[in-house]
Amino acid sequence: MANQKTIMLGVVGDSAAGKTTLTKGIVDLLGEENVTAICSDDYHKYDRKERKEKGITALHPDCNHVDVMESHFRELREGRPILKPNYNHSTGEFDAPTYIKPAKFVIVEGLLGFHTKVLRNLFDVKVYLDPPEDVRINWKLQRDMSKRGYDRDQVINALKAREKDTKDYILPQKRYADILVSFYPQDDENDERLNAKIALSPSNPNPEFNRFIEGLAHDFKAVNGHPSLLSIELDKLNDRPVEILKVAGGIEEEQTNDLKSRFGSKICQKEIKPNLDFIGTFSKGDNSQMSYPLALVQLAIAYFMINTQLPVYQ
């Protein structure tokens, strides 16, 4: 597969920001045969015991083989296989490495994917997940307590220990993203469904996508009478002008299925037949649930993976 064009998607965000959930849906959408997904957190230098002894967190660049990440991701971009390390989040130790061959699309999700200029320039599309902090903390508590065997105090203590490194190394990567995604609560506190917004830089706009979204918003207003369910507007985020696609948490299955069909036609290629059945699913504790805004976010990112004409921030 050497010299074959490989599309690279980077997904970065703080711990429990939803990176794995977002990635899984895109893999399901485009097909496992078309997507290679890996986690940059596998490139930790130290296991959990060693990090505790050294007083360093997994978020710190010195705790990660950033140079190996750069080398491996370049190999994948150029269509060559790698022998990827494996960090086991359940045991806190390293498992045997895995032989990875890149497919047409490669998704790299993790904490430090945009940390260096070399890494940033390897991605065709860069996504940063930016949920409100109270939402992220709640997700981290649910995940680490149900799947990683921690108790509540251990999770809270880990969050406190990581605050400085989050501020110094994770949050600054936000400014390099082509797409910022945030899931946030509705005004109605009794409705747990989250709204979603996708911020797109207008410095190199995608007129086709804008026309497509504006058309959908118009149709929803005319047909369904709910103009607030889907909208696109100009705003400012992180001191930079952006165009924001907003999806209301109250969007229903019937409306979402209509949007899935329209998005699906935009991302369908001869060799790719999108599977719309499982996108939007997420885990809450041991239960699997559905988020229609999440499904539409996954569809929108898949659109940009197939139509990679986004700006590159140095």
Domain boundaries, the chain: 7-306
Could you tell me how far CA 39 lies from the centroid of its own chain?
11
For the segment 59-83, the average pLDDT, to the nearest whole number, is 97
Cα 299 from Cα 308, distance rounded (Å): 14
Nearest to 84 by CA among 110, 118, 59: 110
pTM: 0.90
Pairing between β-strand 230-237 and β-strand 240-247 as defined by DSSP bridges: antiparallel
pLDDT at residue number 82: 98
Q: Which two tokens stand for residue 140?
A: 């981290």
Query: In this predicted model, which residue has the larger pLDDT, 196 or 148?
Result: 196
For the segment 61-68, the average pLDDT, to the nearest whole number, is 98
Cα 25 from Cα 261, distance rounded (Å): 16
pLDDT at residue number 267: 80
> Across all residues in the chain, what is the average pLDDT?
87
pLDDT at residue number 228: 66
Q: What is the separation, in whole angstroms, between the first and last Cα of the chain?
A: 29
| Strand (E) or helix (H) holding 8 | strand 7-12
Q: Mean pLDDT lowest for which of 30-34, 257-261, 307-311?
A: 307-311
Alpha-helix runs per DSSP H in the chain:
19-30, 48-54, 66-77, 117-120, 133-147, 152-165, 207-219, 253-267, 292-306
* DSSP 8-class letter at 193: P
Q: pLDDT for 140-184, tens place per residue? A: 888 888 777 788 888 898 889 999 999 999 999 999 998 999 999
Cα 185 from Cα 196, distance rounded (Å): 9
Residue 3 has pLDDT above 90, yes or no: no
Q: Which two tokens stand for residue 177?
A: 């993203």
Cα 84 from Cα 43, distance rounded (Å): 8
Query: In this predicted model, which residue has the larger pLDDT, 4 or 305?
Result: 305
Q: Mean pLDDT lowest for which of 50-54, 80-84, 215-219?
A: 215-219
Q: What is the CATH code for 7-306?
A: 3.40.50.300
> What number of helices (H) and strands (E) belong to the chain?
9, 12
DSSP string, 20-53: HHHHHHHHHHH-TTTEEEEEGGGGBSS-HHHHHH
Q: pLDDT for 212-256, tens place per residue? A: 777 777 776 644 555 468 887 888 776 777 888 889 898 888 888
| Residue whose token pair is 């929803």 | 220
How much of the chain, in percent, has pLDDT values that exceed 70? 90
Cα 58 from Cα 64, distance rounded (Å): 7
